[in-house]
Amino acid sequence: MVGRHGDFMHMLREHGYSFDPLHVAQTQGASSQSGHHVQHSMMTQGTTVLAFKYQDGVIVGGDRRATAGMTVMYDRTDKVLELDRFCVMAIAGVPATAFEMARILEHSFKYYRRSQLQDLSFEGKLRALTKLLKENAPAAIAGTGTVAPVFAGFDLDAQEGKIFFYDILGAEFEGVDYAVSGSGSPTIRGILHYLHRWGQTPLYQLPEEDAIVLLMRLLSSAAEFDAATGGINYEANLFPIVKRISSNGVEPIAPERLQTLCASQVMRYV
């Protein structure tokens, strides 16, 4: 019986939808016609997303710029996608594939919960993302579907926030205290390492406000050295997407609050 195991992908396939072969066909077609892969300047990518643990759970953020080569495609992208009430996927890479993955996962988790009358376990959710990335590997290698996400959520069984990051082929790594991804990430990875190791307070002990301020400062730093990262544009009232994940679930931080904190604690340092 279709869907009896709560497997949404299985049900989709039964109805003729395919996630992977489309990409393979597309990339194979592109290679044979032009003799090389689709030029990277044509694809929308480049970004900075990050997540770190703070005292109530996990804080996740992402800049809002989408670029294709030297062109800024869009400046108000939301790259921190809510998959359900307790987890998010922060995306770096080709948005077309990443958004599709997020859509599949969102529906998969809902379908599982509603059909099996229980939430998919935290490990089950991670596995679902790994599976998608693995199926997407040919497109990732070709460059047309490269996605390297950060997965963050609150594990209700363990009562703690958790962070995972992936390489483009779907290898899963647990980022114990923090994880970063995207073209701007090398800059802030070093800062996070330094702060976590030698800072006055370990990241996981930071109160919410300090965590939000740190996140905005980090994204500003990434934007300073990476043209593909949007950072903060205070004049245009453009702030990063910031979400906190605690035992209350995923809650976006309102732009008004970001604006206030930015004015008092971020701008004066820039």
Q: Which of residues 2-21 bind another protein (CB under 8 A)?
A: 2-4, 8, 11-12, 15, 17
H helices present in the chain, as ranges: 8-14, 20-34, 95-116, 122-135, 137-142, 185-198, 208-225, 255-261
Q: CA 159 to CA 236: how far, in whole Å?
A: 39
Q: Is 47 a catalytic residue?
A: yes
Q: Which of residues 205-224 bind another protein (CB under 8 A)?
A: none
The catalytic position among 44, 47, 97, 144 is: 47
Shortest distance, position 232 Cβ to another protein, whole Å: 25
Q: Does 131 bind another protein (CB under 8 A)?
A: no
The DSSP line for 38-103 is PPGGGSEE---EEEEEETTEEEEEE---EEETTEEEES----EEEEETTEEEE--B-HHHHHHHHH
| Contact string 91-120 vs another protein (x = CB under 8 A) | ------------xx--x--xx-xxx-x---
Nearer to another protein, 37 or 110 (CB): 110
Closest C-alpha to 49, from 262, 226, 237, 249: 226
Nearer to another protein, 103 or 193 (CB): 103
Catalytic residues: 47
Which residues of the shown chain bind another protein in the complex (CB under 8 A)?
1-4, 8, 11-12, 15, 17, 82, 84-85, 103-104, 107, 110-111, 113-115, 117, 250
